[in-house]
Structure 1
Amino acid sequence: MKDKFYQYIQNLQNQITSKLEELDGKATFQEDIWKRLEGGGGRTRVIENGNVFEKGGVNISGVHGKLPKSMQAYFNVGDVDFFACGLSLVIHPKNPMVPTVHANWRYFEMYDEDGAIIDQWFGGGQDLTPYYLFEEDAKHFHEVCKTACDKHNPEFYLKYKARCDEYFYNAHRNEGRGIGGLFFDYCKASDDMTMENWYDFVTEVGDSFLDAYVPIVEKRKELLYTEANRTWQEIRRGRYVEFNLVHDKGTLFGLKTNGRIESILMSLPPHVQWVYDHQPEAGSEEEKLLAVLKNPVDWVKAP
């Protein structure tokens, strides 16, 4: 399973970076192949200063070795070996009318002293972080997510949409990081789903990513914007940074397992502002966005 999924994310990385380069029309992804001293490595690809994308990363990794003590406590296990692989991406567009997007699809195994698998699971998801709310974009993104879920279980979309709203939440701000999407973790074999079934589901979601995001970029990338729009984008990016450094489990896992710091922090945008006690004008588009971030919306009506 680990070899099969790692091959999948290598191919998916190629598909996504090729399409994003085509969309940008100027910048290309810089590739960085790296090795992890304790075992494994990855392929980082970063795009910067393009026509459309100010900064973005589409990274894959496959790491293995002894599970660090700090993570043993987290997983409530003893001395075990592990393997983890995944694709993680964050794209920060230049135009404030184009949303930031994040996605991650991953697989994890743990082994006993004889090398036998004692636990394995999939996780991942994709979510959208707009700076200005276009409701038709939010509906499109969620409809694509729901379509992918419905092919495998009619209960998945509502379940994983709710988990996404719950997980990507800045509790210290009492607001969501964005308008959500899907978030699932610890997807293990059960009476209802084999690991092959989970593989099919996770790859279905991964394959849907470009369908969910690209039409939104194409629709918004040429819209006019002001310096005030740009300032708001940078203030909101600050909230994005806060989540990734304070709450994100992926960042924590990378740091705890001696991950490659450049790859871990590639999610951080290049231009950010923190303005003291900033409040948007009453009735403004900025205030409209905040209202949605404080009260998640059901963008797609369930049957």
Structure 2
Amino acid sequence: MQPVESISATLASVDNVRAYLTGLQDAICSALEAVESGAGGEGAGAGHFLADAWAKGPEERLQGEGITRIMEGGLVFERAGCGFSHVRGAQLPPSATQHRPELAGAPFEAMGVSLVFHPRNPYVPTVHMNVRMISAGHPGQAPTRWFGGGLDLTPVYGFEQDAVDFHRGCRDALAPFGADLYPRFKTWCDEYFYLKHRDEQRGVGGIFFDDFCELPPEQSFAMLRSVGDSLLKAYLPIVARRQDTPYGEREVAFQRYRRGRYVEFNLVWDRGTHFGLQSGGRTESILLSMPPHACWSYQREDAQGSPEAALTREFLVRRDWL
């Protein structure tokens, strides 16, 4: 296979997007290592990210490079993955063209940062974030560029304050770019992070957007930066609030059961997972979102009035949190 020519030369800000994304990955991983250090995670390898640089050559279906950073066995985070990738391909996969049929079969370039953090303590919620830029165009045509991403919170045990604070952070990140964006992206998140086969929300939501280019390019990029920068502000105070909450075998068992739902969504419904696998991406990096332990129970029913039952009834529903 011949190398795919990069279309970044025609996009003046692509280098800036890449610089921002790699810097964001550095900042987020450093912040999590500081949380681990503060919790006493100074053992050999514990509480530190392994940086795994990778590259795909011209003989492969997808070309490009990236850095996958993974931390396992921490005191606060049982598993945390944060990956950067910058790839090019000969044609957009079907998952990326369902809303852009005119770009079917077009060469593309994509870069982004994607992360999922699975805490050890069941009272600390899992968080996911993705920020990305994709550009594509048929030969002889000016490429089309758009942004996507968002962040969302998935608790095992629900707390109103955590959900409200997280959504407030999402709203504040979008406020400078239009008062209509948070309610739109919040609804989009609720509709996207939904297990259709379970008729159940994945978590308490957040914001999600895709195919976004309605603002001028530099403003769209500024919005992406604001969303990316909001992750630590919105999430780390929740971690600090919950990480020392006592727990036992009951809570761990429920955590693993709820993680099973997380796996189901990522494999069955997540467009990012499908995009990566369909385009020939690096499987190990694509699946860094998977939890270290998960389980399934047949027709599990939690006792009325229990905190486990409250999760489904009060938190895994579409609500206005603000």
In the TM superposition, residue 195 of structure 1 has moved relative to its aligned partner by 1.1
Aligned amino acid, residue 105 of structure 1 = V
Where does 1:182-221 land on structure 2 (aligned, <5 Å)? 182-188=207-213, 190=214, 193-221=215-243
State the partner residue of 1:43.
Answer: 67
Residue 250 (structure 2) pairs with residue 228 (structure 1) = yes
Would the alpha carbon gap of residues 217 and 276 (structure 1) be closer, same or farther in structure 2, given more than 3 Å must change?
same
Deviates more, 1:170-179 or 1:72-81: 72-81
Residue 312 (structure 2) pairs with residue 290 (structure 1) = yes
In the TM superposition, residue 39 of structure 1 has moved relative to its aligned partner by 1.6
The answer on whether the counterparts of 1:97 and 1:221 sit within 8 Å (CA) in structure 2 is yes
In the TM superposition, residue 291 of structure 1 has moved relative to its aligned partner by 1.1
State the alpha-carbon separation in 2 of the partners of residues 142 and 73 from structure 1: 30
State the alpha-carbon separation in 2 of the partners of residues 294 and 44 from structure 1: 31
State the partner residue of 2:116.
Answer: 90
SS state of the match for residue 281, structure 1? coil
Off by >3 Å, runs of 4+ in structure 1: 68-75
Aligned amino acid, residue 32 of structure 1 = D
Deviates more, 1:69-78 or 1:161-170: 69-78
State the alpha-carbon separation in 1 of the partners of residues 164 and 68 from structure 2: 31
Per-residue CA deviation, residues 198-226 of structure 1 (Å, 9 max, x unaligned), is 11111011111100000000111111001
Name the Cα RMSD after superposition: 1.4
State the partner residue of 1:280.
Answer: 302
Per-residue CA deviation, residues 119-159 of structure 1 (Å, 9 max, x unaligned), is 11000000000000111111110111111111111111111
Q: Which residue, 167, 176, 180 being the options, matches 1:155?
A: 180
The answer on whether the counterparts of 1:111 and 1:118 sit within 8 Å (CA) in structure 2 is yes
What is the aligned length? Answer: 296
State the partner residue of 1:28.
Answer: 48
Aligned amino acid, residue 67 of structure 2 = R
Q: Which residue, 185, 205, 223 being the options, matches 1:180?
A: 205
Would the alpha carbon gap of residues 144 and 194 (structure 1) be closer, same or farther in structure 2, given more than 3 Å must change?
same
Aligned amino acid, residue 117 of structure 1 = A
State the alpha-carbon separation in 1 of the partners of residues 282 and 230 from structure 2: 28
Residue 136 (structure 2) pairs with residue 124 (structure 1) = no
In the TM superposition, residue 79 of structure 1 has moved relative to its aligned partner by 3.7
Q: Which residue, 103, 120, 127 being the options, matches 2:129?
A: 103
State the partner residue of 1:14.
Answer: 26
Unaligned runs of 5+ in 2: 1-12, 42-46
Per-residue CA deviation, residues 161-180 of structure 1 (Å, 9 max, x unaligned), is 01101100001111100000
Same amino acid, percent of matched pairs? 43
Would the alpha carbon gap of residues 78 and 272 (structure 1) be closer, same or farther in structure 2, given more than 3 Å must change?
closer
Aligned amino acid, residue 264 of structure 2 = E
Unaligned runs of 5+ in 1: none
Aligned amino acid, residue 155 of structure 2 = P
In the TM superposition, residue 65 of structure 1 has moved relative to its aligned partner by 2.7
Q: Which residue, 126, 139, 142 being the options, matches 2:167?
A: 142
Would the alpha carbon gap of residues 78 and 167 (structure 1) be closer, same or farther in structure 2, given more than 3 Å must change?
closer
In the TM superposition, residue 292 of structure 1 has moved relative to its aligned partner by 3.0
